[in-house]
Structure formats: C-alpha cells, structure tokens
C-alpha cells in the first residue's frame, strides 16, 4: 500500500466509525423514546387494572408517538444501509445533488451538536458524475467537518453544486470573517489532498470568496 | 427528592418525568443545558439526570458549571453508547460516577438516584 492510500485508509476507518457511532446514538434515542412510551402505556394499564379509568385518547397518543419513532428509525436505518453499501461498487454513476443531500442528512446530528445548519442548494441542471461512492462520501465529509470546525455556533454552511465543463464543482460557503484565520492553514490537509488525488479531482480554500471548492470530474477514469 | 431530567429529546424527558410521577417522584425536565441552568437557578434540585451529549452544553459541562454553586447536587448521566462496556472504554466515563445506557430502565434509574443521594 502506498503512502497516499495509507492516509486514506486510516482516516477512512475513522470516518466510518464516526458515522456509525452517530447513527447508533440516534437509534438509541429513538429506542429510548419508544421504551418510555411503552413503559408509560404499561403504567396506565396497571392503573386501569386497579380500577382507575383509562382515557382511550391517551392510549392512541402513545401508539402515534411509537409509530412516529418507528418511522424516524426507518429513515435512519435506510441511510445507514445506503452508507454501508457505498463500499460495494468501485465505480457508480451518481447524482451530485443526491450525494450532497445524503451526506448532509448523515451529518445532521453531528452538525446539530455544534449548532450548525447544513443547507444544500439545488443544482441549476441535472448533475451526475461517475465516481467511487465511498471515497466521494469521505471527501465531502472532510469538507463538511472542516467547514463546521471553522464555523461558530448558530451558523449555516451552504453547499452549492454546479455543473462545469469537466464535471462538478461543489462549493461549501463558510461564514464570513474566516479569511486569514490560522485554521485555514490546515485545509486541505494530507487527507483531503490524497482523496482529491484518487478521485481525480481538486480541493482548495478560495480565500476571496470564503469557500471550500471541491472539483470532481465527470468520470473518475478521465 | 427533586429531580431534573435533561435531554434534547423532549419526548424522552417528558415521558420519563410522567413515569417517575407514577412512582411518587417529582421530576421536572429541560431540553437543553441552557434551559437546565435556568431551572436550577430558579429551584435547586437534588439530582440532575442528564444526557452526556447535547448541543452547546453537554452533561459533563453542565456539571462542571454547577459544581461550585450547587456542590450537593448529584448527577446521573445518560448515554447513547451501545453498552456500559463501550461507555467505560470511552474518555467521558472518567467524569461520570453514575450513568445509564439508553434506553433507560426506570427501576435502575430509581436505584441509582437513591444510591447517589445516600453518598
């Protein structure tokens, strides 16, 4: 394994672990809510057994809450499954808007912990590329992670995809006033440079506009 | 005993508070560290049952902020880790004397509350 792949693999395992931990914490929250609603329903049933009247509306509300949480869990698990299968194919034709929507959904809990909102702007026209899905996810996460690290609480990171002659350009708009801050010197690091290289793309911080710019080719194979 | 439940999942703390009230335990709830600080300032509590990971102010930070002013207030932490073993292996465990893995077993929570108050 050459040095570049060693960097990508080491960070890739961390990326996978971070996402899985975040997903599992979210599922645990859903289970905790279901558990409390089921427990409360049991408490009410015990009271009814002792002769206290039970309001059917209350029971219906528990059922609704549990159903709502089951739907929430279903969405989380669907994303988890998509993420898990992103390693299956070394090459895939993907919609860039969908890719960004997926990654922001996957990162939503981590962003929310930092009080940051991630917003994906729609592409002006259909935008698809052939790439390595897992590496593209990894690269976008690295850009999001840096954008969130340099953005303060209560801020929004706006992500805009554009079609270019050679493929796709993705801009991560950072809050204003970051230019020249020491953290900017850290990006792109060896990891982002290695990922950009294997994706046959480019990544840079655009100092004048305060954006991270990620360029991905129409096809990773040129 | 006066209990404050704190988690950014409102449905979790509100339901847990109601279940505790069925067992004769008076529990309030808050959905953020900031709300919790406000409530504690208004009425000190015996125990805070708090999620370790919340936006802005997490459970351990909340305890740090409260330690000087309310040294007798006990903290029981809730965690979304997979198991107690996973939680103990992580860095946060060192700061948490009492903790519960979600989903919380209410009888275990009550046992921990009693245990914490005895100390």
User: Inter-chain contact A25–B53, Cβ cutoff 8 Å?
Assistant: yes
Q: pLDDT at position A147, please?
A: 92
Tell whether the model's pLDDT for residue B111 goes beyond 90: yes
Pick from B55, B101, B102: which is nearest to A29 by CB?
B102
Q: Is B27 helix (H, G, I), strand (E, B) or coil?
A: strand
Element (H, E) at B82: none
User: Inter-chain contact A35–B19, Cβ cutoff 8 Å?
Assistant: no
Pick from A24, A37, A115: which is nearest to B56 by CB?
A115
CB A191 within 8 A of CB A184: no
Q: pLDDT at position A222, please?
A: 78
Mean pLDDT of A96-123: 95
Please report residues of A whose CB lies closer than 8 A to that of B80: 24-26, 28-29, 32
Tell whether the model's pLDDT for residue A107 goes beyond 70: yes
DSSP assignments along chain A, one per residue: --HHHHHHHHHHHHHHHHHHHHHHHHHHHHHHHHHHHHHHHHHHHHHHHTT----HHHHHHHHHHHHHHHHHHHHHHHHHHHHHHTTT-SSEEEEHHHHHHHHHHHTHHHHHHTTEEEEEPPPSS--EEEE-HHHHHHHHHHHHHHHHHHS-TTEEEEEEEEEETTEEEEEEEPPTT-TT-GGGGG-S-HHHHHHHHHTT-EEEEETTTTEEEEEEESBTT-
Task: Provide the 8-state DSSP code for B4.
Answer: E
Burial class (CB in 10 A: 0-12, 13-18, 19+), A51: exposed
Please report residues of B whose CB lies closer than 8 A to that of A36: 11-12, 15-16, 19, 103-104
Q: pLDDT at position B34, please?
A: 94
Residue of A nearest to B80 (CA): A25
Pick from B78, B80, B106: which is nearest to A39 by CB?
B106
Percent of chain A's residues with pLDDT above 70: 95
Tell whether the model's pLDDT for residue B86 goes beyond 80: no
CB A156 within 8 A of CB A117: yes
Q: How many CB atoms lie within 10 A of CB A122?
A: 11
Contact of B54 with chain A, judged by CB distance below 8 Å, is answered with yes
Q: Is B22 helix (H, G, I), strand (E, B) or coil?
A: helix
Pick from B9, B54, B106: which is nearest to A33 by CB?
B9
Q: Which residue has the higher pLDDT, B88 or A128?
A: A128
Tell whether the model's pLDDT for residue A175 goes beyond 80: no
Digit-coded pLDDT (tens) for A41-56: 999 999 999 998 888 8
Please report residues of A whose CB lies closer than 8 A to that of B5: none
Q: What is the pTM of this model?
A: 0.90
User: Inter-chain contact B11–A65, Cβ cutoff 8 Å?
Assistant: yes
Calculate the average pLDDT of chain B: 91
Q: pLDDT at position A208, please?
A: 79
DSSP assignments along A23-82, one per residue: HHHHHHHHHHHHHHHHHHHHHHHHHHHTT----HHHHHHHHHHHHHHHHHHHHHHHHHHH
The interface residues of chain B toward chain A in range 66-105, judged by CB-CB distance below 8 A, are 78, 80-82, 101-104
Q: pLDDT at position A148, please?
A: 92
Digit-coded pLDDT (tens) for A19-47: 999 999 999 999 999 999 999 999 999 99
pLDDT band at A184 (very low <50, low <70, confident <90, very high): low
Q: Which residues pair with B78 in a beta bridge?
A: B51, B100
């Amino acid at each position: 394994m050459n040095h570049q792949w060693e960097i990508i693999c080491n960070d890739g395992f961390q990326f996978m672990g971070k996402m899985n931990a975040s997903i599992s914490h979210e599922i645990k929250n859903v289970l905790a809510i279901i558990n409390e609603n089921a427990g409360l329903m049991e408490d009410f049933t015990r009271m009814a057994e002792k002769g206290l009247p039970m309001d059917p509306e209350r029971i219906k509300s528990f059922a609704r809450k549990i159903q709502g949480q089951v739907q929430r869990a279903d969405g989380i698990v669907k994303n988890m499954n998509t993420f898990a299968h992103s390693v299956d194919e070394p090459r895939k034709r993907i919609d860039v808007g969908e890719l960004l929507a997926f990654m922001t959904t996957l990162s939503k809990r981590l962003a929310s912990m930092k009080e940051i909102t991630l917003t994906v702007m729609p592409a002006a026209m259909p935008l698809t590329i052939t790439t390595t899905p897992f590496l593209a996810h990894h690269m976008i996460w690295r850009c999001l992670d840096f954008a969130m690290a340099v953005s303060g609480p209560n801020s929004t990171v706006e992500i805009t995809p554009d079609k270019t002659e050679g493929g796709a350009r993705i801009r991560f708009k950072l809050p204003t006033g970051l230019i020249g801050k020491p953290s900017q010197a850290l990006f792109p690091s060896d990891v982002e440079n290695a990922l950009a290289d294997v994706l046959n793309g480019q990544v840079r911080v655009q100092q004048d506009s305060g954006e991270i710019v990620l360029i991905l080719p129409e096809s990773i194979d040129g | 005993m006066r209990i404050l439940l704190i988690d950014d999942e409102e449905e979790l703390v509100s339901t847990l508070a109601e279940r505790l009230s069925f067992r004769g335990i008076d529990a309030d709830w808050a959905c953020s560290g900031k709300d919790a600080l406000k409530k504690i300032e208004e009425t000190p509590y015996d125990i805070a049952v708090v999620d370790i990971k919340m936006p802005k102010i997490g459970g351990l930070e909340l305890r740090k902020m409260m330690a000087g002013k309310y040294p007798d207030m006990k903290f029981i932490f809730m965690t979304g880790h997979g198991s107690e073993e996973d939680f103990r292996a992580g860095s946060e465990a060192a700061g948490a004397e009492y903790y519960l893995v979600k989903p919380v077993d209410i009888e275990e929570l009550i046992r921990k509350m009693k245990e914490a108050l005895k100390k």
